[in-house]
Amino acid sequence: MSTPLTREQLARRIARAIPDGAFVNLGIGLPDQIPDHIPADREIFLHSENGILNLGPRPPAGEENWDLINAGKQPVTLRTGGSFFDSSLSFAMMRGGHLDISVLGAFQVSATGDLANWSTGIGEGVPAVGGAMDLAVGAKQIWVMMEHTSRHGHARIVKECSYPLTARGVVKRIFSNLAVIAVTPDGLEVEEILPGLSLEALRAQTEAPLRPGAMRPLEG
């Protein structure tokens, strides 16, 4: 079996999937790497919920401006024509259906596209709700970017989420380091799969049922 995609390769794969002219929110965590891989021939407007539109790639080491950060508190750059605004306007964009896609991390996704990405329900820390719920119901499409299993080897794509839900039935596509999976009315369909990985082997790492789709090779 080929080596699972690295986080950088996964970010590159998702960047290629974003259509020209799209307005796209990037969630905290893994999606933070996507701006570094936006194809040069596409005009894609990246949004950060702390009030930035038209994000650029991460700045070179030593050239960071710590007054210019994304929602994950990481230094970013701004593309020509970019803008800043307050949280009320940012959340109006998120809630008002103005974002074409939101790419979010997740703890779990269910067989019907339920999303759990704000709390594991374990521990005494304050749950980091952030804008996840607003994005989950406000963006036109929700894509999930995550590693296929947890660090302990537990399936993240499950029949039913056991963690507190962010929203029900909102996820349209799952991009993992092993496969690209579409959430359809007929269930989860494998669009792309890591070369050398069989459908049976993928199913062994996925709790929810999977059915074959195009089964194209997954390339980072």
Which residues are designated catalytic?
A: 49
Rounded Cα distance between 190 and 145, Å, is 15
Structural contact between residues 183 and 114, judged by C-beta atoms closer than 8 angstroms: no
Residues 31 and 132: their CA atoms lie apart, in Å, by: 13
Distance from C-alpha of 219 to C-alpha of 119, rounded to nearest angstrom = 31
Q: From CA 100, how far away is CA 104, in angstroms rounded? A: 13
* R_g (Cα) of the chain, nearest Å: 17
Q: How far is 94 from 209, CA to CA, in rounded Å? A: 32
